[in-house]
Amino acid sequence: MVSYFKINDPYRLLTLFLFAALVRVVFVIFGIDQLQTLIDNPVNYNSSSQGPLYRWLWIFLTSIFQNPLIPSVVLSGFLVTLQAFSINSILINNKAFNQNSYLPAAIYVLAITASPEFLLTSPAMVSVTFILIAINYMLFHLQYRGSEENIFSTGFVLGVAILIHPSSVVFILLVYGLYLIYSNTLNRRYVLILFGILLPILMVWVYYLWIDQGTAFWNNLVADTFDVMRKIEIPVNQLTVFMGFPVLLSLVSASRSFTGIGMTNHQIIIQRTFLLLGFFALGSIFINDQINTNSLIYMIPVVAFFISQLVSDMQRKWLAELTFLVLMVWSLSSLFLPILAPELALVDFGSGN
């Protein structure tokens, strides 16, 4: 499978889309009750980690479909494919690895298929799409010293991500930190980033102000995000076990390439970008009012990058193939064990309910 995805052929994305679609069809057939339980969880309706744009999306789905379960599953499949394409494009365009391939996209799809909650559309699922776009704009500027339009776009899509999932506000620090460390951009451009972030937020706020809900808007976006009682829906030790294998592979990869030997300066920047993304992704988990497997979505791009780096650098092809196979077994078993053998499941999805 590694050799298949190492071929630089965009049609490999079609394979990944079909895989994501097939997994969802099978799970809907055999695990429809579990998905219905997850989508009926109050986190989908009144969580403060749900931004106004996501609320509008959810209202749209529920107004058209009596039961939004199937549309939620279908939309998540398209989002996962788009995200896989985005992270792969980021790495190819920035020459992150010595060989262009669709291995990062494949590993991303496997990692984000490991949980029933990842099969449903959620604020974090939608928001990470825009976070990846923001990272793409940022890395483009760091490499080519892009225009002010590029700087503004970085902030704008980050503002949209916050409107979808307020917990993603932590990535503002990531963007500013990377620009400060690796860019010699003009000081006024940092103000332009802030303007880009605030513009979509202020546009939506004006609408809420018009309908006399301006205060409620800020309470949802700011006060509730930083001042709520955290509800742990799934024990942290279970989440640790659940992500233990991919995180372990990521740590091995990061430790092996930490010195940057044999890497270009920009490749080192990319590696440190994803390493910092991992730290901020961990931080975003504890901003969520509901701590569950969805809280881990921002870790998936980090895992996909470092595991791809590890597998790509393996000299023994059989070891690379074995690693990919074990990752696939981990992903599918994590997803289907709650149905086939609940007592063996890595995560008890009913523990917090």
Q: What is the pLDDT of residues 180-234, one digit of tens each?
A: 888 777 778 888 999 999 999 999 999 999 988 888 888 877 765 665 566 677 7
Q: How many CB atoms sit inside 10 A of residue 298's CB? A: 25
Bridge partners of 60? none
Nearest-angstrom CA–CA distance, 303 and 309? 10
**Confidence (pLDDT) at 304:** 93
Those residues with Cβ within 8 angstroms of residue 245's Cβ, 6 or more apart along the chain or in another chain: 326, 327, 330
133 occurs within a structural domain: yes
177 occurs within a structural domain: yes
**Confidence (pLDDT) at 157:** 95
64 occurs within a structural domain: yes
pTM: 0.91
Nearest-angstrom CA–CA distance, 29 and 153? 41
353 occurs within a structural domain: no
User: What Cα–Cα distance (Å) separates residue 247 from each residue in 71, 256, 337?
Assistant: 31, 14, 20
What's the full length of the chain, in residues? 353
| Token pair in block for residue 287 | 């901003």
**Confidence (pLDDT) at 24:** 92
CB 310 within 8 A of CB 253: yes
**Residue 159 confidence class, pLDDT cut points 50, 70, 90:** very high
Q: What percent of the chain has pLDDT over 90?
A: 32
Q: Which residues span the domain enclosing 75?
A: 2-344
**Confidence (pLDDT) at 61:** 86
Nearest-angstrom CA–CA distance, 129 and 83? 6
Look up tokens 């294998």; give the residue: 245
DSSP 48: T
Nearest-angstrom CA–CA distance, 53 and 289? 18
Q: Which of 79-83, 209-213, 343-347 has the highest mean pLDDT?
A: 79-83
Q: What percent of the chain has pLDDT over 70?
A: 90
**Confidence (pLDDT) at 205:** 93
Phi-psi region of 274 (alpha: psi -120 to 50; beta: other; left: phi over 0): alpha
Bridge partners of 290? 231
| Token pair in block for residue 82 | 């788009």
| Structural domain count of the chain | 1
pLDDT tens per residue, range 307-337: 999 988 888 888 989 999 999 999 998 888 8
| Closest-CA residue to 79 (of 35, 123, 27, 42) | 123
User: Average of pLDDT values for 30-37?
Assistant: 82
Torsion of CA 286, 243, 113, 346, to 10 degrees: -110
The yes-or-no verdict on residue 128 having pLDDT over 90 is yes
**Residue 50 confidence class, pLDDT cut points 50, 70, 90:** confident
Q: In this structure, which amino acid lies at residue 32?
A: I
| Average model confidence (pLDDT) across the chain | 84
CB 210 within 8 A of CB 38: no
The yes-or-no verdict on residue 45 having pLDDT over 60 is no
352 occurs within a structural domain: no
State the DSSP H helix or E strand holding residue 291, giving kind and residue range, or none if neither: strand 290-291
171-182 vs 123-144: helix axis angle to the nearest 10? 10
| Token pair in block for residue 238 | 């279970």
351 occurs within a structural domain: no
Q: How many CB atoms sit inside 10 A of residue 329's CB? A: 12
| Phi/psi at 147 (5° precision) | -80, 175
349 occurs within a structural domain: no
Nearest-angstrom CA–CA distance, 176 and 153? 14
